[in-house]
Chain A
């Protein structure tokens, strides 16, 4: 056992004190450099580590982050850094030069940042005073402030292509202590409260670690039956809030079968969402009608869902030439996530009741997503996570957004919709945009390139001595700014 004991010496436990709050996460953040991070966990942790020019309010309207802004004309925005903004973790002040360096790095095509495309509207960015930054746009875009989500880095390192983790300098409310195998340690700059993100891949083990007091907090990525089990446990608090992450079934509109609008409608009427939400989700989801929830500033409040009408579905299928002797056979692709496969099986069963034979094919993520992007599918199910701006509709449904130029994976083409999306982009105010996006959502809801399914609730479980954590609709971790452990611990 001696070599084993020697080997066990390699840990960073000494960095983590008893008062640290341990947050179990299913996947590690891929990149804590905000110029390159794209995955949801990295984005959430980076929101704590780096200050941004713009944040969002509850209805996802852009609100000042570390800067207030004014629109000088349709192509010019000026951002004034707030006097009470935080400095960098190394004590240096955050200046306009730092903002410019961060944005210029991402805009430089040689640096191949994944965020360059979303900022492609920017013509130039300049520091016009110590605290003032001017953005010039290539074309008017009233959504522009909402795009400014980059975490600000010091100009001294923002120009470097590769920054080692230990050299990253935070500008947010937390500083980075370490990132090692399966663990990210951050420290709140106001009071040195340490938060440890620990990767625990297996959901059952996450639950057991929470029960055993090895972690203090976990959020989402749990099957409903696990949630039900945890709710019954003493010493564990359950937090819940309506979510905004949109789940849907996508169709291939170039396929002989799924290109038929009446058939897609028949499928929509054959899926009993209420039952799935009640029994499979155990009521931890709410029905969705559009990518944007109705609480979003551009969300549509009056879209009527496709009610469960199996009789209507059967009749439509018969009129299309299908019946139980000659059933419609479709292939439904999904990931290998056990819960997604379970949902697919329930949908398979519901469609069988109206005479549709659904074959489920589950693949590892790379293969599944590769198939979806290349249009190699009839039906699939996925979710949109962390959608803030309504330009998602252009990205997902415009006929010029076929992969790799966008995410119109179903090859949906509607000139009427294209016109509305183009008009929305040229609109001069958010109010105008809102009206146009309402029309967009009505057309998408009626044409059914997607069957809208549900928004899964945000759910967290915490040890009893953890206080101040509140869930946000999009699942961000910003509430860690207020989290604390009670003194009785």
Chain B
């Protein structure tokens, strides 16, 4: 219980710091929403009227106070541009982001698990090298290149998958592969190195000497202990995915938090921008907490003070 309270307190501090920092930062950026909304031809009087209507005439600290006050009442406010409640906008965007993150994670795991295990078990073999080349390739190819290459191959040459959009389950494949490939690369290397380390332990040697089957040794003994660092990496990666994959969302016109964040920066839609950052930091905090809990479940020796 004390641990949960401690984590909640930490999460609250992180989110408050992020919210306040972003609030001041966005107000320092040149350009303002009134210019974007009214265009250059609006009169000074109209410009002033719009500034007052949006509450931008108030000192920044007063604007921050109003914002935090509304936040405490669970009111994220309205988008300056569309006048739509931001909670509604987030509700539209979050499922797409969560869906893509899940799909990317799924793809990364089904690729990284066999590759990492084969690479560790068949160390220094052709298969090991092939797995490592794939992993290095995954890390080296940026998403803005991998995405169009996958489109070219799967959509244009093979005509198997749609190029972009968000209409059906088929639309998940290419963005998930694009996002998941680099994650798979990290996981493959991590699984290989931690498994190699575990396979060299005395208790594994004992298991071999007792004549246990290779499958039993790897799955039941080695892999379970190799999971801890892998889970840490997965936690960090999932946090990043849920925080919005800006490049991938742009390439595949994915209506998630990442593309909303970019749009809100371009339009100087301050409340939406702040809400995006708040949601992203919240997701990070939650995923980190869940990762810690998973740690304790995977390794009963781990206990929190």
| A117 B163 Cβ-Cβ under 8 A | no
- Cβ of A120: which chain B residues have Cβ within 8 Å of it? 43
A205 touches B266 (CB 8 A): no
B98, A1: Cβ atoms closer than 8 Å: no
Bound Cα distance from A406 to B39, whole angstroms:
11
A117-B42, A205-B163 given; A7·B266 CB < 8 A: no
B81 adjacent to A209 (CB under 8 Å):
no
Q: How far is the CA of A113 from the CA of B45 in the complex (A)?
A: 11
Whether a CB of chain B sits under 8 angstroms from the CB of A331 is no
Q: Once the chains bind, are B251 and A364 in contact (CB under 8 Å)? A: no
Chain A residue with Cβ nearest B144: A202
Once the chains are docked, how many angstroms separate the CA of A116 from the CA of B46?
A: 8
A372: nearest residue on chain B (CB-CB)?
B40
Are the C-beta atoms of B41 and A395 separated by less than 8 Å?
Answer: yes
- Does B228 belong to the interface (CB within 8 Å)? no
The answer to the question of B237 belonging to the interface, with a C-beta cut-off of 8 Å to chain A, is no
Q: Which residues of B are interface residues toward A (Cβ below 8 A)?
A: 29-32, 35-47, 49-50, 53, 81, 83, 92-93, 95-96, 98-99, 102-103, 106, 148, 151-152, 155-156, 159, 162-169, 171-172, 250-253, 255, 259, 265-268
CB pair B253–A200 under 8 Å, yes or no, is yes
Contact, CB under 8 Å: A205 / B43: no
Q: Which 5 A-B pairs have the closest CB atoms?
A: A366-B31, A7-B99, A370-B30, A181-B255, A370-B31
With A212-B159, A370-B30, A373-B40 known to touch, is A3 a contact of B253 (CB < 8 Å)? Answer: no
Give A194-222 interface residues, CB cut-off 8 Å to B.
198-202, 204-205, 208-209, 211-212, 214
Contact flag A112-B99 (CB < 8 Å), given A13-B168, A405-B44: no
Contact with B along A1-21 (1 / 0, CB 8 A): 101110110110100000000
User: Is there contact, CB below 8 Å, between A114 and B168?
Assistant: no
Give the docked Cα–Cα distance between A349 and B41 (Å).
35
Q: A1-B169, A3-B98 are in contact. List 13 more A-B contacts (CB 8 A).
A: A3-B102, A5-B169, A30-B81, A30-B267, A114-B37, A114-B39, A182-B253, A200-B164, A201-B259, A209-B164, A366-B35, A366-B266, A369-B31
The verdict on A110 contacting B30 (CB below 8 Å), with A8-B99, A205-B252, A208-B156 known, is no
Once the chains bind, are A214 and B163 in contact (CB under 8 Å)?
yes
Cβ A38 vs Cβ B98 within 8 A: no
8 A–B contacts, CB within 8 A, in A order: A114-B41, A120-B43, A182-B253, A201-B259, A208-B152, A214-B162, A214-B165, A366-B35
Our pick among A1, A198, A208 for the contact of B151 (Cβ within 8 Å) is: A208
Residues of chain A having any CB pair with chain B under 8 Å: 1, 3-5, 7-8, 10-11, 13, 30-31, 36, 38, 109-110, 112-114, 116-118, 120, 162, 181-182, 198-202, 204-205, 208-209, 211-212, 214, 364-367, 369-371, 373, 395, 403-407
**Residues of A contacting B32 in the complex (Cβ-Cβ under 8 angstroms):** 366, 370
Measured CB to CB, the nearest residue on chain B to A110 is: B49
Closest Cβ–Cβ distance, residue A139 to chain B (whole Å): 16
Contact call A7/B95, Cβ cutoff below 8 A: yes
Q: A4-B169, A7-B99, A214-B162 are in contact. Are A367 and B253 (CB under 8 A)?
A: no
Contact A367 B29 (CB under 8 A): yes
Contacts A162-B83, A212-B163 known; A365 to B148 CB distance under 8 Å?
no
Name which of B39, B83, B165 has the most chain A CB atoms within 10 A of its CB: B165
- Measured between beta carbons, the chain B residues less than 8 angstroms from A182 are 166, 253, 255
Shortest C-beta distance, B233 to chain A (Å), equals 22
Bound CA span A369–B39, Å: 11
Residue of A nearest to B255 (CB): A181
In the bound assembly, the distance between CA atoms of A3 and B103 in angstroms comes to 9
- Minimal Cβ-Cβ distance residue in B for A5: B169
Q: Chain A residues near B44 (CB, 8 Å)?
A: 404-405
Cross-chain contact A11 with B168 (CB below 8 angstroms): yes
CB proximity of B171 to chain A, nearest CB, Å: 7
User: Which residue in A5, A13, A208 is a CB contact (below 8 Å) of B167?
Assistant: A13
Known: A181-B92, A214-B163. Contact between A112 and B53, CB under 8 A? Answer: yes
Answer whether A38 and B30 are a contact pair too, CB < 8 Å, given A4-B99, A198-B165, A208-B152: no
Q: Which residues of A have CB within 8 Å of B47? A: 404
In the complex, residue of chain A having the shortest beta-carbon distance to the beta carbon of B254: A182
Please, which residue of chain B has its CB at the minimum distance from the CB of A179?
B82
Inter-chain contacts of B163 with A (CB < 8 A): 205, 208-209, 212, 214
Determine if A212 and B156 form an interchain contact, defined as CB atoms under 8 angstroms apart. yes
Q: Could you tell me the distance between the alpha carbons of A162 and B81 in the complex, rounded to whole angstroms?
A: 12
Residue numbers in B under 8 Å from A211 (CB-CB): 156
Q: Which residue of A is nearest B94, CB measured?
A: A7
**With A and B bound together, what is the CA distance between A212 and B170 in angstroms?**
15
Contact across chains for B36 and A204 when beta carbons are under 8 A apart: no
Chain B hits for A370, CB < 8 A: 30-32, 35
Q: Is the CB of B31 within 8 A of A7?
A: no
